[in-house]
Structure 1
Amino acid sequence: MKSCDFDTPFEEVTPVPDAPRISANLSSVPDLIEATIDDRAAERPVYSLVVEGQTCEGVDLSRLELFSSHLLRCAFLASDLSNATFEDVAFEQCDFSNADISSAYFLRCSFSSCRFVGADFSETVFKHATVTDSTFQYASFTRGGFDACSFEGCDFSQASIAEAELKRVEFSQSRLTNVDFFKTSLRGVDLSDNDIAGFLVSDTMRELSGCIMDPYQAASVARKLGIVVKE
C-alpha cells in the first residue's frame, strides 16, 4: 500500500508540462542587463534573446519581462530578479545562487543543470516548468505556487516550501531531505521515488494527507505518529 491518505481518496494526475515555445530566430547579446535596460525602464517585455556565458553579481534585473529566450551558462549571483516574468525561457547550466527571485512568474520554462542555492522564490509562481538535475539547497519557496511542474534529479535539501500550493507536481529521483513543508498540502504528490528523510510538517502531519509513499517511507511516518510498526 503506497498511499498515506489519512482522510479521503484522491485522483492522481501526472503533470505533463508544456515545453518552452522559443523562436528559431534569436538575437545573441553579450549582456542581458545592458540589452534590456530601456525596456525595463519602460516596463516593456523583451523577446527572442540568447545570452551565453554572462557572469555577474549583485545586479538589478527586477521587473524584467523576458519572453521566448535562451540563457546558457550564465551566472547572476546574489542579484535582484524580484517581480520578474519569464515566459517560454530555457535556462541551461545557469547559476542564480543567493538571488532574490521573489514574487516572480515562470510560464513554460525549462531548467537544466542550474543552481539556485539559497535563492529566494517567496511568493513566486511556476506554471508548466520542467526542471532536471538542478540544485535548490536552502532556497525558499514560501507562499509560492506550482502548477503542472516536474522536477527530476533535483536537490531541495534544507529548502522551505512552506505555505505553498502544489498542483499537478511531480518529483522524481530528487532529494527532499529536511525540506520544510509546513502548511503545504502534498495531496496527490508521489514521494516514493525521492529521499524525504527529515522533512518538516506540522504536529498533526495534515500536510501528508493524500500523498503517495513507498512502504518504508510510510512506516517511518507511522513511527512519528507513535504507531508501532511490526517488522
Structure 2
Amino acid sequence: MAEGTQEEQRFVRDDWYGEEITGRHYLRCEFQETDLSEAVTRNSVFTDCVFGNVRFNASRHVDSAFTGCSFKRCNFFDAEFTGCKLVGSSFTECELRPLRVTGGDWSFAGLAGADLRAVTFQGVRMREADLTGADCAGAVFTDVDLSGALLHGVKLPRADLRGSDLSALDPLDAELTAAIVSPEQAAVLVTSLGLHVRA
C-alpha cells in the first residue's frame, strides 16, 4: 500500500489478507468485517478508529500505533505486537488468544473481563490499564509497568509476574494461586497485606 493519510473512511468486508501496510495513517476510520489475517503493519498509525468483527489472525504489527481505537468482536488469534502504542484503546468481546506483545505502550487500554489466558506481555507499559475481572491464568506479564492499573477481581493463577510493577495489586482482591513473583515483589505483596517481615 502506498503512503498517505485517510480520514473518516469506511471499509466494509475489505480483503487485506497478507497486506504490507507501511507508513499509513488512518484517522477516525471504520473497519467492519475486514480481513487483516497475516497482514503486517509497520510505522502505521490508526487514530480513533473503530474495528468491528475484524480478523487480525496471525497478523504482525511493528512500531505501529492504534491509539484511542475501539475493537469489538475482533479475532487476534496468534497476533503479535512489537513496539506498538495502543494507548486508550478498548477491547470488547475479542478473541485475544494466543497474543504476544513485546515492548510498546498499552496504558489506559480497556481489557476488562478479557480472556487473556496464556497470553504474553513483555516489557510493556500498561499504566492505568483496565484489567478488571480479566482471566490471565497462565499468562506472562514480565517487566510490565502496571502502576495504577485497575486489577479488581483479576485472575492470575500460574501467571509469571516477575519484574512487573504490582503496586496496584490487592492480593485479597485477586486470584494468585501459584503465580510466580520475585522476592522483591513478594515483599511488596506482603506489605500490602499489612504484614511486617522481620528476620
Q: TM over 0.5: same fold?
A: yes
Give the Cα separation in 1 of the matches to 2:176 and 2:18.
Answer: 42
Indicate whether 1:134 and 2:104 are aligned.
yes
State the percentage of identical aligned residues. Answer: 19
Indicate whether 1:74 and 2:44 are aligned.
yes
Indicate whether 1:143 and 2:117 are aligned.
no
Name the SS of the counterpart of 1:101 in structure 2: strand
Higher Rg: 1
Indicate whether 1:162 and 2:169 are aligned.
no
Q: 2:177 aligns with which of 177, 199, 209?
A: 209
Give the Cα separation in 1 of the matches to 2:138 and 2:33.
Answer: 27
- Say whether the 8 Å CA contact 1:173–1:195 is kept in structure 2: yes
Indicate whether 1:88 and 2:58 are aligned.
yes
Name the SS of the counterpart of 1:151 in structure 2: strand
- Say whether the 8 Å CA contact 1:123–1:141 is kept in structure 2: no
How far does the alpha carbon of each residue in 1:102-124 deviate from its partner, in whole angstroms, 9 at most, with x for none? 33220111111110011111332
Q: CA deviation at 1:72?
A: 1.2
Greater length-normalized contact order (CA 8 Å, ≥ 6 residues apart): 1
Gaps of 5+ in 2: none
Residue identity matched to 2:80: S
Residue identity matched to 2:24: Q
Change (3 A) 1:151 1:66: same
Change (3 A) 1:206 1:165: closer
Q: 1:101 aligns with which of 57, 71, 75?
A: 71
Name the SS of the counterpart of 2:168 in structure 1: coil
How far does the alpha carbon of each residue in 1:43-90 deviate from its partner, in whole angstroms, 9 at most, with x for none? xx5422111111121111133222121111111101101332211111
Q: 2:19 aligns with which of 49, 71, 77?
A: 49
Q: 1:39 aligns with which of 1, 13, 24?
A: 13
Name the SS of the counterpart of 2:40 in structure 1: strand
Q: TM-score, normalised by structure 2?
A: 0.87
The alignment of Structure 1 onto Structure 2 pairs a total of residues equal to: 198
Gaps of 5+ in 1: 1-27
**Stretch of structure 1 that moved more, 50-59 or 218-227:** 218-227
Give the Cα separation in 1 of the matches to 2:133 and 2:173.
Answer: 14
Cross-structure match for 1:62: 32
- Say whether the 8 Å CA contact 1:133–1:154 is kept in structure 2: yes
- Say whether the 8 Å CA contact 1:29–1:50 is kept in structure 2: no
Cross-structure match for 1:182: 152
Cross-structure match for 2:196: 228
Q: CA deviation at 1:207?
A: 2.3
Cross-structure match for 1:14: none
Q: CA deviation at 1:210?
A: 2.7
Q: TM-score, normalised by structure 1?
A: 0.76
Q: CA deviation at 1:31?
A: 7.3
